[in-house]
Amino acid sequence: MTTAHYLDQIAAAVEHRLREITAAPPGPYALVKEAMEYLLFAGGKRIRPSLCIASAEACGGDTDLALTYGCALEMIHTYTLIHDDLPAMDNSPLRRGRATCHVVYGDAQALLAGCGLLTWAYEVMARPGVEGRVDPAIAVRIIAETSHAIGWSGTMGGQSLDMIFTLRGQASVEELELMENAKTAKLLIAAIRNGALLARANDQALARLTTFGEKIGLAFQVADDVLDVTADEAKLGKPVGADVQQGKTTYADRLGLDGARAFARQLLDEALAAIASFDAQADHLRGLARFIVERAY
Amino acid sequence: MTTAHYLDQIAAAVEHRLREITAAPPGPYALVKEAMEYLLFAGGKRIRPSLCIASAEACGGDTDLALTYGCALEMIHTYTLIHDDLPAMDNSPLRRGRATCHVVYGDAQALLAGCGLLTWAYEVMARPGVEGRVDPAIAVRIIAETSHAIGWSGTMGGQSLDMIFTLRGQASVEELELMENAKTAKLLIAAIRNGALLARANDQALARLTTFGEKIGLAFQVADDVLDVTADEAKLGKPVGADVQQGKTTYADRLGLDGARAFARQLLDEALAAIASFDAQADHLRGLARFIVERAY
C-alpha cells in the first residue's frame, strides 16, 4: 500500500469515527455544535491521527484504539486552526478551501467552538479509560502528556511567540525554531508518543519515536513554509503567501527555497535513522515521514 | 468555624497550591504565562475549590487531594472569565477590580491565556493519576465528567446561548434556566461531584450531592443577578448593572428583586433537603450553600 493510499484509508476511518463521536443530537446547542463540526469535517490530511495510528502499528499495538485517540488529536488540531484564524490572531478568511469558522459563525461562536473541540477531545481521551477499553493509567499519561504538549510551553506558547514575532516584524532562526517546535512539532510528537503509549511501548522505543517525532515535527513546518510560497491556492486551501504578507518570518525566507528544502531532507534522514531498528511494522510511519517532507518538492 | 472563615482558609490554601502548580520558570513564554496568572491570582472567592473540598469532606475523603482538583476547577473557571470578557464576547473592561486580561495583554494573548489555563487544568487533573497519588480510574472519570460539564452542552454551550440571547435581546424564563444551568451550574455540580468521586462516595451519595449541586448552581446564578443590580461596584469588582446594559435577560429582570431572592431561598431549602441524611461532616458544604444565597441579601 502506498502512503497516499494509507492516508486516504485513515482519512476515511477518521471521518467515520469523528461522525460517531459527534453523533449526539445538539439539542438547544445547534449553532455552536454546527460551528464545531464545520471545520472538523472540511477534509484535511488527518496527519496527526495517521501518525498516532502508524506509531501504534510500529509498536504492535491496537490501531482501532489509536484511531480514537487520533480523532482526539484532530479535534485539538482543529481547535488551534479555528482560533489561529480569528481576527485577534491571523485574521484569515480561508481555510481548507472554505470560509473560516468565524466568517461563517461570528467571532464569539468560533472562539467558543474552538474551546468546545479542545474540551471534547479530553472527554474522548478519558472515556475509554472510564469504560475499560484502555488501562486508565495509560489514559491519564496520554492526557497529561498531551496537555503539556499543547499548553503554554507547547502549541499555545508557540502561537503566543508567533504573535509576538509577527508584531515585532522579525525573528532569529533560533527563535523561529523554538516557536515552530512549540507550535507545530510538539503536537506531532504527542501524536506519535500517544500511539506508542497505547501499544505499551518500552522506554527505549518511546525515546526513539520521540526523536523521530522531533525531526519530523520540524521538517513539517519547514515544508509548510516552502508550500506557503510555492503551492497553488486551490491546492493549499488558504491564501498563498499569507505568512509572508503578515510579516511572519519563515524558513523559506531565512534559508531560501532550496536551502529550506535541503534542511527538510536532512531532518527526514535523521528521523528515519532514529527508527532504523524498527521492523517492517514501522513502514507506514516511515512512509508518512517521507510524505510530510516530499509534499514540498 | 464560620463559613466566612472556612472560605478564607480555603482561599489561602488555593492561592498557595496554585503558586506551587505555576512555579515552573516561564522560559521564553513569559508574556503569556504572566497573562495566565494575572487573573488567576487576582483574588476571587474560590467557590469551586471550596465546594470540591467541602464535598470530599462530607464524604470522608482526602481534602488535600480535593484541593489540587479544586485548583484545576479554579483554572477552568478563570479561563471562562478571561474569554467571557473578550471584545468578541461581553467586552468587559473590569474584573475582580482590575483591568481585564485582554485590556492589559491584548486580545490575542488573552485568548491564548484562557486556553492555556484550560489545558493546564487537565494536566493538573491527570498528573496525580500518573504519579499514583490518585487511582487513575478515578482521575479519568473526573476528567471525562468535567469535560462534559464544561463542553458544548455545559459551560461553553451556555455561553454560546448567552451570546445568542443577548443578540436577540430577550429570552424566556425556560431559556434563561437552561442557559444558566449550562453556563454556571454544571461546573459547580462538577466541583461537588469531583470531591465526592475523590472520596469514593457511593452512587446514592453521589446522586444526592448532584441534586444539591443542581439547586445550588441555579441559586448561585439567581444571587449573581440580584447582586448585579444591588451591589457596589467596588464590592462586585466589575461594573454594576453590566448585564442589564448589555440587554442580557436576568432573573432580577424577570422575577423582580424580591421574587429572585425568594426563588434563591427556595432553591437553598431544596439543596439542604437533598443532603439532609449527611452527618456533621457535611456542615461546611451546608454553610457554603447558605453563603452562596445569602450574599444576595
Q: Are strands B94-95 and B98-99 parallel, antiparallel or unpaired?
A: antiparallel
Closest residue in B to A115 (Cα–Cα): B115
SS3 per residue for chain A? CCHHHHHHHHHHHHHHHHHHHCCCCCHHHHHHHHHHHHHHCCCCCCHHHHHHHHHHHHCCCCHHHHHHHHHHHHHHHHHHHHHHHCCCCCCCCEECCEECHHHHHCHHHHHHHHHHHHHHHHHHHHHHHHCCCCCHHHHHHHHHHHHHHHCCCCHHHHHHHHHHHHHHCCCCHHHHHHHHHHHHHHHHHHHHHHHHHHCCCCHHHHHHHHHHHHHHHHHHHHHHHHHHHHCCHHHHCCCCCHHHHCCCCCHHHHHHHHHHHHHHHHHHHHHHHHCCCCCHHHHHHHHHHHHHHHCCC
Q: Which of B33, B40, B112, B248 to mutate to test the interface with A (most CBs of A within 10 A)?
A: B112
B43 Rama sector, left if φ>0, alpha if ψ -120 to 50, beta otherwise: left
Cβ–Cβ gap A163/B108 under 8 Å: yes
**pTM for the whole structure:** 0.94
Q: Report the pLDDT value the prediction gives residue B242, as an integer from 0 to 100.
A: 61
Decide if pLDDT at B246 tops 90: no
User: Would you call B31 and A160 a contact, using CB atoms and an 8 Å cutoff?
Assistant: yes
Chain A 2-31, residues with CB within 8 Å of chain B CB atoms: 26-29, 31
Chain position carrying cell 487544568 = B121
Determine contact: A1 vs chain B, CB below 8 A: no
pLDDT tens digits for range B72-107? 999 999 999 999 999 999 999 999 889 999 999 999
Closest Cβ opposite residue B83 in set A111, A126, A130:
A111
Coil, helix or strand at residue B75? helix
* 218-257 in chain B: CB under 8 A from chain A: none
Nearest CA among A64, A30, A66 for reference residue A51? A66
Cα–Cα dist B200/B60, whole Å: 9
Please check the confidence at residue B238 and state whether its pLDDT lies above 90: no
Q: What is the Cβ-side half-sphere exposure of residue A257, based on CA atoms within 13 angstroms?
A: 8
CB-nearest to B119 from A33, A126, A147 is A147
Q: List the single residue in A86, A140, A151 with the smallest CB-CB distance to B119.
A: A151
More confident residue, B233 or A106: A106
Chains A, B: CB contacts within 8 A come to 179
A98-117 residues touching B, CB cutoff 8 A: 106-109, 111-112, 114-116
Say which CATH number the domain at B116 has: 1.10.600.10
Chain segment B177-216, per-residue pLDDT in tens: 899 899 999 999 999 999 999 999 999 999 999 999 999 9
Chain B residues close to A108, C-beta within 8 Å: 88-89, 160, 163
**For cell 518500552, what's the residue?**
A202
Which residues 46-65 of B have a C-beta within 8 angstroms of A? none
**Residues of A in Cβ contact (< 8 Å) with B160:** 29, 31-32, 108-109, 112
The pLDDT, as a whole number, for residue B296 is 74
The pLDDT of residue B180 is 87
Which of A38, A125, A152 best tests the B interface by mutation, with the highest count of B CBs <10 A?
Answer: A152
Contact B126 A120 (CB under 8 A): no
How many domains does chain B contain in total? 1
Q: For residue A183, which of A151, A209, A211, A140 has the smallest C-alpha distance?
A: A151
pLDDT at A100: 98
Mutate to test the interface with A, among B21, B83, B111, B167 (most CBs of A within 10 A): B111
Q: Is B172 on the interface with A (CB under 8 A)?
A: no
What residue has cell string 461563517? A104
What's the gap in Å between the CA of A150 and the closest CA on chain B? 7
| Residue A272: domain span | 3-294
The band of B11, judged by pLDDT with boundaries at 50, 70 and 90, is very high
- Spell out where B98-184 has E strands: 98-99
User: What pLDDT does A176 receive?
Assistant: 85
Query: How sure is the predictor about B235, in pLDDT bands with cuts at 50, 70 and 90?
Result: low
* Cβ neighbours for A121, distance < 8 A, ≥ 6 positions apart: A72, A73, A75, A76, A79
Closest CB from A31, A79, A160 relative to B32? A160
Confidence of residue B248 (pLDDT cuts 50, 70, 90): low
Confidence of residue B297 (pLDDT cuts 50, 70, 90): confident
Q: What parts of chain A have a pLDDT lower than 50?
A: none
- Neighboring chain B residues of A156 at a CB cutoff of 8 Å: 32, 112, 115-116, 119
- Residue B287, pLDDT above cutoff 60: yes
Nearest by CB to residue B137, choosing from A26, A136, A175, is: A136
Q: What is the ipTM of this complex?
A: 0.94
C-alpha distance from A159 to closest chain B C-alpha (Å): 8
